[in-house]
Every structure is written in structure tokens, then in C-alpha cells.
Structure 1
Amino acid sequence: MELTDIETGTRLELEPEYYTGGVKKPIYVSSFEQAEGRDIALIAAPISEGRLVPLEKGSTYNICFLNKEGKLLNLYKFRAVVRERMVIDNLHLLLIEKLGEIVKIQRRSFFRLDCYVDVRYRVVRSFGDGDDSDSPFRKTITSDLSGGGIRLLIDERLEPGTYLECELLTEGDRKIRFYGKVVRFEYTGTGGKYRYAAGVAYVDIDEREREEVIKYIFKEQRKLLKKDWNR
């Protein structure tokens, strides 16, 4: 994978390599404009809440992007340094230099999308456990979604290690079925119906279903990027 293989308009996520502004590193959203050589490219200056984010010259970032290859969406990552900030035809751009190679990273690390999606779930003793097939499903929503798992907002305690059977309802009432395992559990601090949150990792999901999740994330992120640029 080279910079010249990245299509114009591809969504990029930039994570600062060095950050002292808080506990959690920010993620800046940009888009690829064009390659200017083997290691040089122009990208759009990031926008957050309708405002340009002034990235400093000399600052270094880890940049992630999705690339469609056949029927699959693969995730790639590379390091880059900001060399120049410029304005061309009223477009605010960054000239970046790639540091090292572009590498494909494991599929479980796909982009995370903050979103509320309807989901049904029920506790099972282990994934694929037919003995629990008559247990009722409970309805709730997600607070985020990725190719590796979901974050459920719930009103009951679920211990880490608990197995769940889930049905995720995306556009057009499309059902995505999978078995998951609770890997994190926390109190949201909000009280009420969604006072708990459970991080659930996929442990048994058809790869075609996972692709549907990733395609949904990819499409929604493109919508968000377009909305930011139209503000």
C-alpha cells in the first residue's frame, strides 16, 4: 500500500503521537486529497464542530483509514508529520510526510462509531448454547459500535465474562446476529434506564455479518465527514 493507492475523499483519522492536553488523546477527522510523491501528500485540514483545528507544523500523527479491496474493507495505519499548512482555492490543507510504511492492522481494531442503534440481547451460559433458546430477549441501544464489538446501555448488572446472544438492528430493520462476551462493565453516572454500560466483544459472528457492521460504520462516518465540511 502506497499513498498513491489512497483515493481522494478517503476518510482519515489522525491521532497525535504526543499529547499532554488530557488523559484521552483527541482524534481528528480529515480526508485525503492527493499524493504529491512517494512519501508526500495533501490532506484536508481537520474540522471539529464547524471550526478548523490548527495542527502545528512538525507535529506527528498516527493516521488510520479504511480501504475497500474486493468485498472487504481493510484498515491501514501510518505515521506522518505535518510539514506545511496552506490554503489552495479556499481549501485549508496540510502537506504531510509519511514516516515509514503503511501497514494493515488487525481487523478487530476497526474504527469506532458513536451511535445509538437498537439491539436485542439475552444472557446465555456460553455462545452457541441452545439450552437458552427460549429465554426472552431484552431491548436496549448501543452507545458505540465497531468491527470488534459494541457498547450496550443497560439497566442491569452484567459481570465481565458473561456471554450474550445479540441481534443488532441497522437500517431497514436489518438484523445482525452474533454472540458476544462482556469485557467491561461500568456505571454511566446518568441513572434511569441506561445507568450501566457493558463493553461486548464479538466471539462468534459470521464474517459477512461483521462486514455489514463495518460497511454501516463506514457509511455513517462518511455522512459525518460530509456534514462537518458543509457547516
Structure 2
Amino acid sequence: MLSRFVEEGSKVELRALEHGLGESGAENTTKVYQSRVLQILSEDTLEISMPMEQTRLILLPVESEYDMVFFEENSLYQCFSRIVDRYKSNNVYVLVMELTSNLRKYQRREYYRFSCALDMCARNLEEEEIEALEKNSPYELQPGLPLKHSVIVDISGGGLRFLSSQKYEPGSLILCSYHLLKDGERKKYDVVGKVLAVKELENRRGMFEHRVQYYNLDVNTREEIIRFIFEEERKSRKKERLN
């Protein structure tokens, strides 16, 4: 798969998928590292150059996991990956990356969308909640207000798409409440989203598809969502290999 879409010398971006401590003691957050493809070793592994900042080498730790984007001439491609080795060869510092998800075409300003079918409950935010959000003031979501059932059909670190018999207006802020697996247990997420677009399904009148962008989502929650997507992708890839 790699050799069909990725060329040696192509630019690569790495984005850490989880918090952890590197050898320097610095925390790996969502910082983006720049690199280049050195050699494609197989359809699952490749060598890339060790990232640098100015003249300083960034020693990314073995077994750390990353969202990796390849910049080809006319397209971008994305996958999840893991560092399996690192060494110096011919005075070049090398990282050996193993793909842990399928390689997919990627749109620069979007996060990878994971197709799913997840139950969700939603409601419009109250005026007081919206005012607090817009002023960046501390606030708490009002409990006990009625929620409408929905189904998430794809989710990413930047937003989600869901179906509901309730129509939410474009531009409105809504509460999205759903559960994801985290460390093997179900965790509840109450996030605020801004409705970007709404359309009624042609084959299911009275059912509406909504595209939502997260609103003021904190970094930790975003990373947990990305981590969930990564784990589900890895499970799917493992099943494909077994079949």
C-alpha cells in the first residue's frame, strides 16, 4: 500500500496521539513534528528522518504512537503509526515507523472521520449556557433538561455527523452527550458543538443529518476522542489481517 501512494523524499508530519514523556522529559502533546521519507522497507514499515527543531534533534521514543500525514504532489495521505526502532545510519538519524491503520486520503483542514453507529443524546443550549461560553466564563451545563435521541454516523477529533428526527438549526450550539470506550470502560462525554449544516434524508423523510464542529473543546477531551478512533482503527486492522 505504501509504495503505491508514498514516495521517498516526501514531506511527513507527525502528531502525537497521547500524552507521554520523551527522553528530554518534555511532554508529548499535540505538537507537530516535521520529517521526510527516507526509505520504504515494506508495505507496513518505512524509514523517516528524525525530526529537528532549528539545529536540535528531537529524540522521539520507541513505541510512541503518532498520527502521520504524507505530502505527495497532488494529494495528502494519513495513517496512524508507531515508532518501532531508531538508529543512526550514514550520519543520518532514522526512525522506523510501522503503520497501525490503513493509509487514507486526507483533507488538510479536517481530522480523519471514523465511521460508526453510536447512540447520542442532544439538546439546544440554554441562553445562559451560550452567554457563558461566548464570554469564556466558567459554567456548568444545566442538568435534567430533556434530550433527544440521535445516532452518530461518523466522529473525528474535530466534530461529528449524526442523524436525528430533531432538526437543529445551522449556527446553533448544542449539547452532544455520548459514551466512548476509554481504557476498556465506557466513559461519558458531554461536549458542545456548533451545527455547520443540516439536510433532510431523501430516503427517510423526517430524519435529518447534521454536521457539527466541536466548540471550545479542551485538549485532553480531543485527544481522548482521537485515541478512541485510533484504537477502533487498530482493532479493525487486526480483524482484516486475521480474515
The alpha-carbon deviation at position 109 of structure 1 amounts to 2.5
Give TM-score, length-normalised by structure 2: 0.52
Instruction: Find the partner of 1:180 among 190, 193, 197.
Output: 193
Distance 2:163 2:132 in 1: 23
Report the equivalent of 2:115. Answer: 114
For 2:215, what is the secondary structure of its paired residue? strand
Return the alpha-carbon distance in structure 2 between the equivalents of residues 107 and 212 of structure 1: 21
2:43 alignment counterpart:
44
**Partner in structure 1 of residue 93 of structure 2:** none
Shift in Å, 1:43: 4.4
Report % sequence identity.
Answer: 26
* Paired amino acid for 1:153: L
2: CA distance between counterparts of 1:156 and 1:174? 25
Amino acid at match of 1:205: L
Q: Is the 8 A contact 1:182 1:201 kept in 2?
A: yes
* 1:219 corresponds to: 231
Match of 1:155 in 2: 165
Please list every run of 5 or more consecutive structure 2 residues that lacks an aligned counterpart in the other structure.
7-35, 45-59, 75-105, 134-138
Q: d(CA) in 2 for partners of 1:202 and 1:131?
A: 17
Cα distance change of structure 1 residues 115 and 128 upon mapping to structure 2, 3 Å threshold: farther
CA distance in 2, matches of 1:167, 1:68: 35
- Does residue 202 of the first structure (1) align with residue 214 of the second (2)? yes
Count of residue pairs the alignment pairs up: 155
Distance (Å, rounded) in 2 between the aligned partners of 1:156 and 1:68: 47
* Residues 151 and 199, structure 1, Cα contact 8 Å, conserved in 2: yes
Contact 1:127 1:179 in 2 (8 A): no
Cα distance in 1 for residues equivalent to 2:174 and 2:227: 23
Give the match's secondary structure for 2:233: helix
Contact 1:108 1:147 (8 Å CA) reproduced: no
1:100-150 Cα distance to aligned partner (Å, 9 max, x none): xxxxx9996321100011222110143756697253122222000000001
* In 2: Cα distance, 1:15 partner to 1:38 partner: 12
Structure 2 counterparts to residues 115-134 of structure 1, below 5 A: 115-124=116-125, 125=127, 126=130, 128=132, 133=142
> For the structure 1 residues 123 and 43, does the alpha-carbon distance in structure 2 shift closer, same or farther, using more than 3 Å as the test?
farther
Q: Give unpaired runs (5+ residues) of structure 1.
A: 1-10, 17-36, 46-66, 82-104
Q: 1:200 to 1:68 in 2, by over 3 A?
A: farther
RMSD of the TM alignment (CA)?
Answer: 3.9
CA gap 1:206/1:68 in 2 versus in 1, 3 angstroms: farther
Instruction: Give the residue type in structure 1 aligned to 2:208.
Output: Y
1:77 alignment partner AA: F
Letter in 2 for 1:112: R
Q: 1:107 to 1:196 in 2, by over 3 A?
A: same
The CA deviation at 1:177 is 2.0
How much does 1:205 deviate? Answer: 1.6
Give 1:175 shift: 0.9
In the alignment, structure 1 residue 168 sits paired with structure 2 residue 161 = no
Contact residue 107 and residue 148 of structure 1 kept, 8 A: no
Aligned to 2:242: 230
> Taking structure 1 as reference, are residues 148 and 68 closer, same or farther at Cα in structure 2, changes over 3 Å only?
farther
Q: Is residue 78 from structure 1 mapped to residue 91 from structure 2 by the alignment?
A: no
Asked whether the 8 Å contact 2:157–2:222 carries over to 1, the reply is yes
Q: Is the 8 A contact 2:148 2:166 kept in 1?
A: no
How has the CA–CA distance of structure 1 residues 168 and 208 changed in structure 2, closer, same or farther, with 3 Å as cutoff?
Answer: same
